Structure 1
Amino acid sequence: MSTSPSLTSTTPALNLDKLADKYKHGRNRIMFFDYDGTLTPIRSRPDDAIPSDEMIDHLKKLCEDRDNTLWVISGRDEAFLEHYLGHIPNLGLSAEHGCFIRDPGSPNWVNLAEQIDMVEWKAQVTKVFQQYTDITPGSFIESKKCALTWHYRQADEKLGPANAEECRRQLEKEILPKFDVHVLVGKMNLEVRPSALNKGEIVKNLLSKHSQVDFIFCAGDDQTDEDMFRSLRNAKQVDQDATFSCLVGSNKSETLADYFVSSPADIVNVLSVMNKAAPK
C-alpha cells in the first residue's frame, strides 16, 4: 500500500558519487529537466535566459547515448524551446507546463490541450492581470497558447510581491470558481493554465511508456516542478534508490524532491558527471 508523498523541509545535498554509480550501471535511463532556474539562471528579462554552450554540449552528449531518454519540461512556449533546444537530436520537449509535447526525434508538436476551451477564461484573466499591470510599473503580461503569465521581476521589490499576492487572491475568488484552471505561483510571476495539464501528468505519461526504468534524474526549481517530484514518488515501475529528484535552490525549502543543489551551475555539473560516468 503506497503512502502519500510528504514534504521535506530540510533536504540533503545531491550525492554525486552515488549518482555517478547508479548512472554507470543503468541501462534504461530517463531524465527530466525544467528550464528556467534549472538549466539556466533566472533572468530579470525572460528573453535573456539563453542556454550556455557548455550546457548544450552536455545535453547533446547525453542524448547520443541510446540508453538515455531526455526531456526538457518547461513553462516556456514551444517556439522558445524549438529555437534554443530543438536542434539537439533525440531531445524530448514539453512546453507550457505540459500543454504541448514534441517527442524525441520528431519535428512535430502535439497540442494536448486541443479540446480545452481557452477563450473565455483567458479573456477574464487578462482583465485581472491588466489591472495589476497598470498599478505595478515594470510588470507585464505574457500570453501563451494555453496559459497567461503575469511577470513582475522588473517591478519594485516590495510592490511587485505585494500586488502579486493581491492578484492571486482576486484570481482565486473570481476566476477559479467559474473555470477549471489553476493559479501557479512561480518565481516572480503568476500563471493561470488549465488544471488538467501539468508537468507531473507529463512525467507520469512518459514513465508509463517504459516497463522498467533503472535510473531517473529529475530537476526543477519552483512549485510547478513539485508535480514532477510527486509523480516520481508515486511511480510503481521506478527503483527509488536509483531515482534522483533534485530541487535547485535552498535546502530549507519545502519540497517533494529527495535532494538539492544550489544553482543551475550545479545542474550543468551534474550533466558533466553523468557524461563522465558513462560506461566506456
Structure 2
Amino acid sequence: MYIPTYQDMLDAHSRIEPHILRTPIRTSPFLNELTGAELFFKCENFQTPGAFKVRGASNAVFGLDDKQAELGVATHSSGNHASCLSYAAMLRGIPCNVVMPNTAPQAKKDTVARYGGKITECAPSTTSREEIFAKVQAATGGDFVHPYNDPRVIAGQGTCAREFMEQTDGLDMVVAPIGGGGMISGTCLTLSNQAPEVQIIAAEPEQADDAYRSFKAGHIIADDAPKTIADGLLVPLKDLTWHFVSKHVTDILTASEDEIIDAMKLTWKHLRVVMEASSAVPLATILKNKERFAGKRVGIIITGGNVDLDKLPWLK
C-alpha cells in the first residue's frame, strides 16, 4: 500500500491547477451568530463538475502516461466521482466508464453523460457495485481510479486544504463530510504537515455512521447498503483512508436526517449557494455540538452541489 506524501500533494496541485478552479471562501454573519463560531465555507460546489472530487480525478487522469491513457479510465461511484472523472477524461480526450447505483440522483447521472462518461448501473450496495465494476473493467481495460482509496486521488483532494489555509488567516478546525474518507484523508495529509495544530473533524450521517463506529472501535466496520439523504456518504472506509483517519482525525460527529435537512436549508438561505445534502452534514454537526466550536475559527468544506432540484428533501 503506497501512502501519498506531502510532496505528492504539492506535485498534484501543480498538475491539476490548469484544470480546476481555486474556489472561493464564503462567510455568513447569521450563521456565525447562530453557532457562536466564526465559520469559513470553502465552496467546492463551484467546481465545474460541481464537486471537490475533480481534484483527485484530474490528478489521476493527467498523471497517466500516454500508453495507459489510450485505454481510458474506469470507476464506480454514487455520482460525484463519476462526474468528475468523466470531466477530467473529457479534458484529456480519453474514454471513461463508470458503474453507478440505480438510485443515484438523476442530476448526477445527467452530469456524467454530459461529460461523455459511459454508465453501467448496479444495485445500491457495495457488493453489487464492486461485482459489476469488475466485469466492466475487464471488458474495457481502463485504469481503475478508485473514488477515494487511491493515493493519486487523496493527494489531489489534499490540495483543497492547502488552498483553504492560504485563503484564511489561520483556522482552529476544519470540518468535512466523511463517507469513504477521500476528502478527509487529503485534508489530513496536508494539515498534518502544513498546520498540525488544526483539528480535523469528520461529519457523518447517523444512518450511515460506519466511520464513526470504526473510529470508536479502532478498526474498519463496513456497512453494505446504508440509507441516508446524504447519498454521497454511503461508502465505507478502506485501508488507505483508514490510515489517515485513524492517525490524524480528532473526532467524528454525527447528525440525524432532519438535522442534515435543516442545515441544508440554512445554507441555501443564508450562504445563497446550492449544496447537496452530504455537504450540509458538517454544519448540522456544528449546530448539534455548539459548545465544541464556540469561539473557534472553523473551516467547512462544501464538498458538492449536484442536486436533483425536483427532489429536494424538504419538498413533500
Indicate the TM-score class for this superposition, using the shorter chain for normalisation: 0.3 to 0.5
> Whose helix proportion is higher, 1 or 2?
2
> Whose strand proportion is higher, 1 or 2?
1
Q: Which has the larger radius of gyration?
A: 1
**Could you tell me the TM-score, scaled by structure 1's length?**
0.43
**Could you tell me the TM-score, scaled by structure 2's length?**
0.39
Which of structures 1 and 2 has the larger relative contact order (alpha carbons within 8 angstroms, sep 6+)? Answer: 1
